[in-house]
Structures are given as C-alpha cells and as structure tokens.
Structure 1
Amino acid sequence: MTTPQLGLSTSILTLILLSALPRCESQQAGQPNIVLILADDLGWNDVGFHGSNQIPTPNLDALAYNGIIFNSHYTQSTCTPSRTALLTGKYPMRLGMHGTPLNPAQVEGLPEGKLLPEYLKELGYETHLVGKWHLGYARWNNTPTYRGFDHHLGYYTGYVSYYDYLNTFRVDEKDYTGYDLRRDTEVAWDLAGQYATDVFTDHAVKTIENHALTKPLFLMVSHLAVHAGNDGKLLEAPQETINKFRHIQDSNRRTYAAMVSKLDDSVGSIVSALQAKGLLENTILVFASDNGAPTVGQYSNWGSNYPLRGIKATLFEGGIRGVAFAWSPLFVQSGRVSADLIHISDWLPTLFTAAGGDIGLLDPDLDGVDQWSSLQYDLPSPRNDILINIDEITRNAALRFYNWKLIVGTTWNGTYDSYFGESGKENIEEQVYNSTRVFDSPAGKAIRQVSYTSLTEAEYEALRRQATLRCLNAKAKRNPCDPSNGEVCLYDVPSDPCEENNLASFLPSVVRRMKRALVDYRSGLTPQISGKVDIEKDDPKLFQFAWNPWLDCSDSTCAAA
C-alpha cells in the first residue's frame, strides 16, 4: 500500500507543529527581557569593532556587528554623573549630581525620584543589579534594593580591588580601608579572593538560569572592569589571561588587555546563558561604557581612546564619546553603524517604551529622548542636541548641536586635554584581526540560533571599516584650540572627530547661538552637592571593617553582618 503524499516537507511540518506549542506568559505579553551591561572606563580603541587589533573582543564584536553600533553615543565624563543620567533619564546638572564622583562616607546620594528599575517593576519586570552602584549609601534608602532593584550583588562605592573587594579612601592624609561587596544588604565576605569579573558573571548567569519565565527580566550588569583598583594594585587579572597578551610589551597595558578580555568573556557567558534559557529570542541587550578611559593620571588604567582627544573627566570626545551598541532580534533593521546622536539618558524612555510602557506616564521633565522607533526601524533620531555638561565650579561646559560641538573652559587647567596613547601600538607586535574568531565566539554562536539574518565575516569587515574613526587627512587645515587659555572651541564633529580644527573664529554666529543655548540650560541647574564626608561615623572600623550605611544606625543591628 502506498503512503499518501501530504504535499508538505518535513521541515515545514515541523515549523507548523512548533508554532502550536504553548509559550511562556512573558512572551505572550510581548514584553522583552532587557539586559544592560555597563563597562567602567573602557577606551574607544579597546574593542575590535572600532578598528583595533590589539585586544580581541570577539563576543562584543559579534553582538555589535549583528546589532547597531553607536558611533555617537555620549555619556557624562565620569562615573557617578553617567549612572545618574542612565537611571534617572535626566541631565545630572538638574539634580546636583554633575560634579566629581561620590566618595566613600559621603553624606549625599542620588536625590529622590523614580528610577529606571522602578518604572520597569511597575510594568511587571523582575529587576536585578549586579556590580557597581556608586550613587550613595549613607542611608539604606539610598541603596539599590530600596531604589527599585529586587536584588543586588555588588558594591556601593566607586571601585574596589579585583580580588579582595577593598576600597581605600584618604582623608586628611589618613587612609581608611573597608570591604565593599554585598548580597542585597548583607556583606558578602565569602567571595573575597575570587576575581570580580568572574564573580559578577557567575551571578548574572545564575540569575538568568533561575529566572521564572512568567515575568520579564531586567538585568543590569555594572562591571568593575576595567576601572583601576587601589594604589599598588591598580590593574589585576588572572595570570593565565595576562599570558595571552605577550605581544604587548608594556606590562600595565598587557594586564589591562587581560581585564578587557575577561569582560568580553563575561558578555559571551551571559548571552550563552540567555540562549540556553530560551530568553535570547525576546531580549534587548545594550552594552555601553560609562565614559572614556583614563589613559594617564588619577586611577589610570592604560586604556586607549585613540584617535580621540582627551581622557576620562574631560569634555573632549575621548572623555564622553563612549563605546556602545545594542543587539536584539526585535530590531527590524540591524547590522548597521549609526552616526545619530544618542545620550546615556535616552535609555530610560527608550527601554520603557520597548517594554510596553506608555511614554506619557514618565516624568515630564526627562531630558532623555525615546529612541525606540529609531532603533527598531532605522528611522532618523529625534535628538539633535546634547548637553554634555555645565559645571559651575570648574566653570566649563560643552554642548553638541547637530554636527557642531562647543567647549568652553577646561578641567584640571587642561592637563589632560591632549592626545594620549595616540597610536595605541607602542611596544605592541602587529596583530591580524580574526573575524572567524568573532563568528565562532560564544555570543556569535548563540545569536545565530535566534536570528534569521546573522551576518557573514565579510559583512563584519565592512561594518568594522564604517565604525573606525578617521582624523583629518594630512593636507587638511588645522587650527588648534586650547580652552585652558580662555579659547572657545567649536568643532564640526562628523568631519573632525579628533577635534583638531577650531572653527570658532570663522563661525561666530554658531558660537553665539550655542552659548545662548548653554545659558538656557544653565537656568535649570541645581548647585552641586557639597561632597561632605562623614568619615568619623562611617569609619569601616565601626562596621567590622566594611563600608556601611551609617545615618540610620542607632544600634548594633546596623553593623555589617
């Protein structure tokens, strides 16, 4: 007897049967999982997709190429202000958080107001923070689990060392050292001796593995990497990873490269865990650095912002033009390099909209712009200007307006306004970029499982060329600008990303218009927080040698557990 022909191939029949299977509630509701990975002090030139061959970053590159590379993603110039903008959707100067980063034992913290995790909790999300907070901890109400995160494994201060989780802070020529690592509010003493990047990665992976599929996930992984640690052990990484970078002769740069490599491995592990859990096909992943690398100076990490001018804490592009990309199967148009303006404050309204929120329910005073439609469909960005900062104490300011950038004043009398690590190739043997390694990376393999349009190695190379910045050619006119001498600097950034040709004297009307805009912004400024340190009451000796909230401590129950 002959079997009847059904007219359907086995593969088509399989797809029909799979489509009939039940899906988890969060998928039915259409709410995407959101994974936000924040690097600390990562340099522009320290990822492969910006054209560097020094430090292989195959997982980051695979996600960037298959997503959207942001070549004009702006941040604040230091840690606390960038995190303020990210979680509030506001320019830090509106909240008094635009000055120097918070110190241990500092009384002030992020002012009251709804944060990104709180908005997402109202939409049904489970919210997790892994890693750095750096927005205040004087009272328990200043800490992450009281500001919208269901759970937190990480540290409250600006940095710790990578193995012992100590932060040493000098006050009046006296050092105060405390342990700073928490599970929610309890001190995580048991994790001392384990490498921080691995600890945060393992916890993020376990969070994904244990996540209940009935709720969408918001996971923010705010890495210590690649921020420098305490004096005497600024840079730390496992020796077996450092040994992979023998082509870099400078020992500090070699260790930094190992730290970046561990960060890249972390991203690969997180993406693989999302794929194994079945979450990746409905996930938005955003990766960004909080500011540029401090190549030299305080807390230097030997990162490279080449070919950009300036470093962390400056208003030049090397300080505030951050490494960033987004990846998601939900993007209709991906595999592209975007030159559109985007600011770190934009992620609150953008992710809230992507999560199904009504933009009308957000704080009407947000500075962040909803970019979700622009990202999803490759539409023009709704943003045409960015207030980079106004600092009433250092008396400097900067503004992007369409293609123009205006800088008035400087930081540290212009000490770090030059070009550092210019070639990025000193004492480094020439390396060849390995696109096959990118294609076969854990992240590359995972995203091919959920994408119908994953790119080829040849397409990787084309996108890499697009994402590589180039300075003015040798014959182009250059008119240097030194703001420390009182000069006003005006640059056409798309054509002069390295800020070599000051156009202020040629375009006085543009300068006047942008100065007027700065004056308008200045009217909304809240004076900087005082920076008051209460070290006598937050001396780690009082809390079993841990940094601890102290203003609510009326008895021994507040001591570090």
Structure 2
Amino acid sequence: MYKTSQDARRWFSWSVAILFEMVGPRGHHGTPWGAPFLFWTVIHAAAYPGCLAADAPNIVFIIADDLGWNDVGFHGSNQIPTPNIDALAYNGIILNSHYAQSTSSPSRAALFTGKYAIKLGMQGSSFLPGEKRSLPEGKLMPEYFKDLGYSTYLVGKWHLGYSRWNETPTFRGFDHHYGFYNGHTSYYDYVGTKTYDGIDYNGFDLRRDGVPSFEDAGHYATDTFTEYSVKVIEEHDTSKPLFLMIAHLAVHAGNTGKLLEAPQDEIDKLRHIEDANRRTYAAMVTKLDESVGTLVEALENKKMLQNTVIAFISDNGAPTVAPHFKNWGSNYPLRGLKNTLFEGGIRSVAFIYSPLLIQSGRVTKDLMHITDWLPTLYSAANGDIANLDPEMDGIDQWPSLVYDLPSPRNDILLNINEKTRNAALRFYNWKLIVGTSMNGTYNEYYGEAVLDVISEVPYNTSAVFNSKAGRVIRQVSYTPLTETEYEQLRAEATVTRLDPKAKKNPCDPASGDVCLYDIPKDPCEENDLAKYFPSVVRRMKRALVEYRKTLVPQLEEAVDIENSSPKLFGFTWNPWLECSNAACTIPV
C-alpha cells in the first residue's frame, strides 16, 4: 500500500492531524464522529505498522550565540527583519518558555549531557582561551545519536575545552567538526584575541577535523559555516540519518576594536537603524536569518526536509550593555541580560519545526529547558529513553510537542552558583531568585535603549510568506499557514510589561531580598510577590536546598597561557598539554 515508511508516516500524520482538528488537543471533544475516526485510525495503524515504525528523522540543530529576545520578528519586534526564522517558527512550535543557562559553556554542557550545570561543576563562568578546564567525561548527545546509526557533524563553536585532543569534538562523538574551539573568534580572519596581564595573545581558530583551515580566512564566518553545512546535506548518504549541529559564531561580539562585523552591503540595507553599532549587529542577524533559509532550501532540494526535525535556540540572552563582549543585542522587554538569572539572561529564543509535528503552527508557554533537547530528540529518533543516563535532568518532551499534550515538566533549576551565592528556580508559574550575579550591576531593563535609535518599520508578513523558508514550507506542508495566521501567532508570542500605572513591588536581589515572580502574569519581573506568598517562598527555598545536595564544586579556572600561547603552535589556539610545538597535530 505504501512505497516507503516515510509515505506511511505522512499518511498517519495526516490522519491524526484531521483527528485532532475534530477531537481537539488536550482532550477537548469536537465533532460527534471524532471517536469513530480515532478507532478507524488506530485499526489502520495496527494493520500497517510501518506507519508508526518510520525511518529515524534527520536532526538539524541550530544554535545562535548571544541572540536577544527582541532580535527576531516573531517575538513582536519590528527592528530586524528575520523572515526565514519567522517562517519556520510560525509553521512549527514557538517555545515561549524555553530556558538555557546564562552563559555559553554552561548552556552547551547542559545541552550535550542533558544534565543541570551544577552536576558537572559547570555552573560558573564560560571557558577562556588557554584554560585547562573541559567538559567532564561522560556520554554526550552526538554519541547517543551515533549509537542510533546517525552521521554526526558539528559546524561552528565548541567552547567546551581543548587542552588535550581527547577533549575536542571529534573525540567526543562527532564524526566531523568544522569550526572553532574557543568562545569566539573574528568573522573574517578567524583570529581570536585574549589579553592576559596586559599582553595580547592572538591565535588562528578555525579547524577542519582538527587541522587549521587557513585557506578559509577572509570569508565571512556565517557564510562559511552555512556553505559547509549545505555541502554536508548535499553529499549526505540518505541511507543513514543525519545529525547536524550548526553552532554559529553569530551574533557574538568579536575581538576588541572590531566587536561587530558584517558585509557592508547588508549593513547598508538597514538605514532605519540610526546607531551604527546596532545597525551592524542587525546585519549580523540578517545573515544568520539568510543562513536558515539556505539550509531549509538545501534540505528540500535533497528531499530530506519531510523527514527532518529542525530546532533553533539561542544559548543565552544578549549582552546588551555588558562590558565584556557587548553586542548591542536587545532582550526587550525582559529584565536583565547575559550573565544574569533574570529572564533577559536565560529565557532564550527557541522554536522547533518539522513536518512530523502533528499539532504545529502554535505557541507553547509550557516550560522547557535546554537539558530537555537530548531526551526529546533521542525520542524523536526512535531511541529507547531507557538507554539514556538515569542521572539525566532532561525530560522527553517529544510526545507533548507532537500532539500538543500537557508538558511533563513543571519545574526548572535555573542555576545555583555557590561562589556568587545566587540561585534561581522555576516552579509551575513561580520564579524565585536568591542573591545576584555580577554584583547586581545588570539587574535592570536595557532593551529600551535600542528603541530610541530605530525608525518604526511595519512588520512585513509578505516577506515572511515569500522567504526561502516560507516558500519551501508551502511546498511540503499539507496545511500551510496564511499571513493572517502569522500575525495571530506573533501577537501570542509577544510579551509585554505590566501597565505603568499598576502598583508594583520592586525587588533587587543585590540588596539581599528574595524575589518571587508570577512569570506568566509578570514576564518582565516587575512585581515581587514574596511577602504575599511566604509559603511558596519557603517551599521553593527547600527545593533549592535539595538541589544543592547534588552540586559538584565548580571546575577551577586554570589559565595556562605560558604553555598554551598561540605563538608556540604556529600562532594557532591548539591543544597543548600533550604537545610542545607547532608540529603537534591531531592524532590519527
């Protein structure tokens, strides 16, 4: 009856989609013949088991670096056009309560392991160039997918240690890596600079399976990573599923003196942005958006998109005004920024798209944490969750996402930092913050500043509809969304501050206060309710005490610049603990 298992899956997905239209999600009954249709669908699925035991889907996981909440159109911003990102988000599921860690290395550690950062000693700062710290031993996300028969690729940023070769991506589960080891590099020459004791250390940081890729210098990083990824897709043997993680440099700031870099022709298209730095940042975002559209197009050209899951996240919020790696991003209207536990630092841009999702074209406000991606995608890949590490904190959200069922997650440990003595926890609608980070310097609201330097530009739903991603989606979708539906979803995904006239109770954890917020009603953390709900505060404090028992002390920062200096290795950032000179190459 069916030529391939993909045809069977499409039929089953289409049948269940019709069923959900009649019966309704989350148990709401519709037409009187919904139940008989459900019975018929289940009988048909039993008669043709191939419709359930379909091929493992391809996984494409895109990580934007330091992208702000207010820097994508689907969150209500008119500042930067992101038509391809928006088209995927609208036709997928917008994850409006997705949380990450507040900085890069901890977020990536949580993503790769499915564990809270505190269980890895990774709850502190991100890794620096020439540091001995690395992600602790243990099975990582790409290794789990290799066990399922996937080809695994990492394109772009690693940022989880490289003092020894066995700490680098191709020794931690990836078949291939094309990218950089440190937290950032420059967008054209791929030189990463770090200053220690007043001395600048400069090293080339772009590698192809461990070998420096000097020939790619001069080519814009976002384009370089996109072109490599497209080639991976084009040359992929479709008899095996593909796991492709694209961890962009964009839109992280680069080196001091040239923090922001983008092609001039892209910058010139954004003259409505008066501030030159914000304009360049916006051009960096548009190049990221262009990359997403190109990848979607490549997947469809290879006839892989119908059986692919695309996830998109930012690793943390934007460092709007922070002194280190300020990028002029915006988390408006959320409070705080990167390195803080306010929403602006940890509530990240995120969505998932796939033709395999039965109930798509929606916004979910259910809790999701970056640790959930490993079990969720492993489940999507037909993996047995019982094979995952039992100590994993991530929760399988795949059934909830596919069928719009209630999320199994009701709490998230946002972090505990035993050195700075600050912590935060989400519990159902509540969020508790104890203590502060960065001495409380960046606990306020910083997104408004960018509004003063941008002329109002109407949101262009037609550009979204006719973007590369938008056009491709209409080709593969049984029920593509309309521009009107885009506007409705955009409104639902937009968060707003409380009425300025409303009475509020401000809270500053830097002063020693414990802050409690009802996040669904107060997403911008303006009205502290701790004194009104002391029992909730006590319960959440007890939960933090229990989590504290599982904490592994932070890995101690240990910069070894004397032995890791790039000048010892042909002016490249290179594994050094088992090397002595530039002739030290990746072991076979």
TM-score normalised to structure 2 length: 0.91
Q: Given residue 480 of structure 1, which amino acid in structure 2 is its aligned partner?
A: P
For the residues of structure 2 that align with 1:32 and 1:326, how far apart are their CA atoms?
14
Structure 1 segment 197-346 matched on structure 2, within 5 A: 197-297=222-322, 298-346=324-372
After TM superposition, give the deviation of residue 20 of structure 1 in Å: 4.1
Partner of 1:494, secondary structure, is coil
Native 8 Å contact 2:5 2:55 kept in 1:
no
CA distance 1:555–1:417, shift in 2 (3 Å): closer
Partner of 2:561, secondary structure, is coil
Structure 1 segment 446-457 matched on structure 2, within 5 A: 446-457=472-483
For the residues of structure 2 that align with 1:554 and 1:357, how far apart are their CA atoms?
43
For the residues of structure 2 that align with 1:357 and 1:21, how far apart are their CA atoms?
20
Partner of 2:572, secondary structure, is coil
Partner of 1:306, secondary structure, is coil
CA distance 1:212–1:519, shift in 2 (3 Å): same
Native 8 Å contact 1:543 1:559 kept in 2:
no
Partner of 1:437, secondary structure, is helix
Native 8 Å contact 1:307 1:423 kept in 2:
no
For the residues of structure 2 that align with 1:172 and 1:559, how far apart are their CA atoms?
29
* Bigger mean CA offset, 471-480 vs 427-436: 471-480
2:183 corresponding residue in structure 1: 158
CA distance 1:475–1:23, shift in 2 (3 Å): closer
Residue deviations 1:89-113, cap 9 Å, x none?
Answer: 0001101011100011111200110
For the residues of structure 1 that align with 2:495 and 2:6, how far apart are their CA atoms?
44
Q: Given residue 45 of structure 1, which amino acid in structure 2 is its aligned partner?
A: N
RMSD: 1.7
After TM superposition, give the deviation of residue 441 of structure 1 in Å: 0.4
**1:441 partnered with 2:467:** yes
1:488 corresponding residue in structure 2: 514
For the residues of structure 2 that align with 1:22 and 1:110, how far apart are their CA atoms?
38
Native 8 Å contact 2:278 2:450 kept in 1:
no
After TM superposition, give the deviation of residue 43 of structure 1 in Å: 0.4
Residue deviations 1:465-505, cap 9 Å, x none?
Answer: 00000111233221000111101100000000010000111
After TM superposition, give the deviation of residue 421 of structure 1 in Å: 2.3
Native 8 Å contact 2:570 2:582 kept in 1:
no
* Bigger mean CA offset, 346-355 vs 167-176: 167-176
Native 8 Å contact 1:480 1:502 kept in 2:
yes
Native 8 Å contact 2:569 2:582 kept in 1:
no
- Indicate the percent of aligned positions where both proteins have the same amino acid: 66
2:574 corresponding residue in structure 1: 548
1:76 corresponding residue in structure 2: 101
Work out which of the residue numbers 374, 380, 383 in structure 1 matches 2:400.
374
Residue deviations 1:360-400, cap 9 Å, x none?
Answer: 00000000000000000000100000000000011100000
1:62 corresponding residue in structure 2: 87
For the residues of structure 2 that align with 1:510 and 1:467, how far apart are their CA atoms?
28
CA distance 1:21–1:81, shift in 2 (3 Å): closer
Native 8 Å contact 1:187 1:560 kept in 2:
no
2:500 corresponding residue in structure 1: 474
After TM superposition, give the deviation of residue 508 of structure 1 in Å: 0.9
Native 8 Å contact 2:568 2:580 kept in 1:
no
Native 8 Å contact 1:108 1:529 kept in 2:
yes
Work out which of the residue numbers 50, 53, 57 in structure 1 matches 2:78.
53
Native 8 Å contact 1:45 1:304 kept in 2:
yes
2:488 corresponding residue in structure 1: 462
Q: Given residue 263 of structure 2, which amino acid in structure 1 is its aligned partner?
A: P
1:140 corresponding residue in structure 2: 165
For the residues of structure 2 that align with 1:312 and 1:231, how far apart are their CA atoms?
18
Q: Given residue 114 of structure 1, which amino acid in structure 2 is its aligned partner?
A: K
2:214 corresponding residue in structure 1: 189
For the residues of structure 1 that align with 2:453 and 2:419, how far apart are their CA atoms?
40
Structure 1 segment 390-401 matched on structure 2, within 5 A: 390-401=416-427
Native 8 Å contact 1:543 1:560 kept in 2:
no
After TM superposition, give the deviation of residue 557 of structure 1 in Å: 3.8
Partner of 1:106, secondary structure, is coil
CA distance 1:318–1:23, shift in 2 (3 Å): closer
Structure 1 runs of 4+ aligned residues shifted over 6 Å read 21-24
For the residues of structure 2 that align with 1:464 and 1:197, how far apart are their CA atoms?
26
After TM superposition, give the deviation of residue 550 of structure 1 in Å: 0.8
* Bigger mean CA offset, 545-554 vs 52-61: 545-554
For the residues of structure 1 that align with 2:360 and 2:449, how far apart are their CA atoms?
31
CA distance 1:447–1:556, shift in 2 (3 Å): same
2:20 corresponding residue in structure 1: none
Partner of 1:536, secondary structure, is helix
For the residues of structure 2 that align with 1:475 and 1:315, how far apart are their CA atoms?
26
For the residues of structure 1 that align with 2:201 and 2:583, how far apart are their CA atoms?
22
After TM superposition, give the deviation of residue 559 of structure 1 in Å: 5.1
Work out which of the residue numbers 124, 131, 151 in structure 1 matches 2:156.
131
**1:516 partnered with 2:573:** no
Residue deviations 1:270-323, cap 9 Å, x none?
Answer: 000000000000000000000000000211100000000000000000000000
Q: How many corresponding residue pairs?
A: 544
CA distance 1:545–1:72, shift in 2 (3 Å): same
- Which runs of 5 or more structure 1 residues have no equivalent in the other structure? 1-15
Native 8 Å contact 2:569 2:583 kept in 1:
no
After TM superposition, give the deviation of residue 449 of structure 1 in Å: 1.5
Residue deviations 1:383-432, cap 9 Å, x none?
Answer: 00000000001110000000000001111211100000226421211101
For the residues of structure 2 that align with 1:344 and 1:21, how far apart are their CA atoms?
34
Q: Given residue 219 of structure 2, which amino acid in structure 1 is its aligned partner?
A: Q
Partner of 2:564, secondary structure, is coil
For the residues of structure 2 that align with 1:99 and 1:20, how far apart are their CA atoms?
52
